[in-house]
A and B are shown apart, each in its own frame.
Chain A
Amino acid sequence: MDILVSSVVAGVLIGMVLALVALGLTIIFGVMDIVNFAHGEFLMLGMYTGLLTANATGMDPLLGIPVAAVVGYLLGVACYWGFIRFLLRGPMVAQLLGTFGLMLLLRNLALLLFGSEDRGVNTGILVGRSVDFGMGVIVPATKLAAAALSLVSFAAVWMLMNRTRVGKALTATALNAQAARYMGIPTERMNALAWGIGGATVTIAGALIVNFWSVNPYVGLLFTMIAFTIVALGGFGSVPGALAAGIVVGLLTEIPGIWDFVAYATEWDWMMDVPVTSFKYTFVYLAYFVIMVVRPRGLFGWKH
């Protein structure tokens, strides 16, 4: 029973963080219909930012979050003005391959700058501490903090999108760029802003994640695929959708744990032999496939 509860809890917590990773992607897609393959690379750079800030200043890694946010924002905006806006004019093939090129560029720049070994955070007030919830559920404090901060970020973005003028302008651009332009909304700048916010949220997520997940230049792709699945499930363009879907996907990654629980409970030995852990993320890819076939609009999506 313990396995089940702790798997579920772990799934929900990681899900909240993954949701934050996906948030940027859904905003960018909502506002301008471009799928960003380099999304995971932004995350990876956020992770390095968090790591390096902690190492350089000797301060707690959690304090690296604002730095990461700024870096992410600037990076997003720079990518938009320097590259993405040219892609938007072209056909979809070009957009896909273009952002893929960006992904390769960022990944290999990171390789050049940081080397290929795994690096992780090993100092900080929360590292090594855990919280005991009883029922055999022990959660590392870093993960708990990450989930909590992720929720805070979500709330902040939601407020931004729905309660501020800028946010409403963004939503307007997302719904109908032409009409927005007629209303006097500077859509080019809205696009850049979307990239900025997208970049910032995902680098924040990176700074959070690096506390319990080591980073190397290649982690990007996995997170990109996870983010795509979350966005597809939650609905392209939907902020609450991203949160709900993120939690679901987080639970999916805990299937090995749940599987073990079922194997234990039912005593079906054959279940023990299946190397489920290797398939941790395969389930996520499968989920994407199934979602697109069964309900392409996702749970809350309004853009298809």
Chain B
Amino acid sequence: MDWQQIANGSWIWICGAVLAAIALYQCTSFALLAVKLLRRYGLEKREVMGMLRGAAITSVGPILVELFVMVALVVALSPGIAWQREGAAVGSVITELIQATNAAAGAGQELGGDNFDLIGFANVIFVMNISCIGWMLAAGFFTRYLGRARQKIAGGDDRWLIVLSVCATLGIFGFWASTNLVKGGGALVAVVAGAILAAFFFKLADRIGKPRLKEWALGLAMFGGMFIGKLSAGWGG
């Protein structure tokens, strides 16, 4: 059976719905507990509505950006998998793409490549779902100890935690970017164009005083880099 047929089956939509139901139950329970206490201590109903309106307006931009970037996951795998991983799973679209690429590489294949088959797909499903469990375990079992853990690991130097995260991200994305750099041609151009465009849009947002542009910078750079890469490879290439 072709992996794309399986990837579009109803089973994956149901799996996504189960995860979404758990997330909705959790956040609704927490919100009701919070509102109950806030109302008792003097917060009025119209003020609760004001908070909700502010949070809703703030959500719109990031949600649109997420949907824009999610096209990559839909095209690389399937709409059902994009729903299962992005409806209520911890990883962003970019995280899921890197984990899918890692999983395909583990099976000796290339995500989106001609050699990607059912075994590669099964490995992507396994690795994407299992590798994110660490975040849930960390939250589920260690949240109550996080205040103390933060002090121990940072040793009073919070800035180092940020540098460590930046270095880990540069390492993994540097690796996968480099695998395309050495291919040359359109792939090399797409990597370089994506990097330059992302940096450009980020700097531009600062220069023209439009911080909201930063939310769109990554998506614009991804698609801009893709088109430039394809055009450099030739119209028919």
Q: Are the chains A and B members of one assembly? A: no
Interface set of B (CB-CB < 8 Å, partner A): none
Partner-B contacts on A (CB < 8 A): none
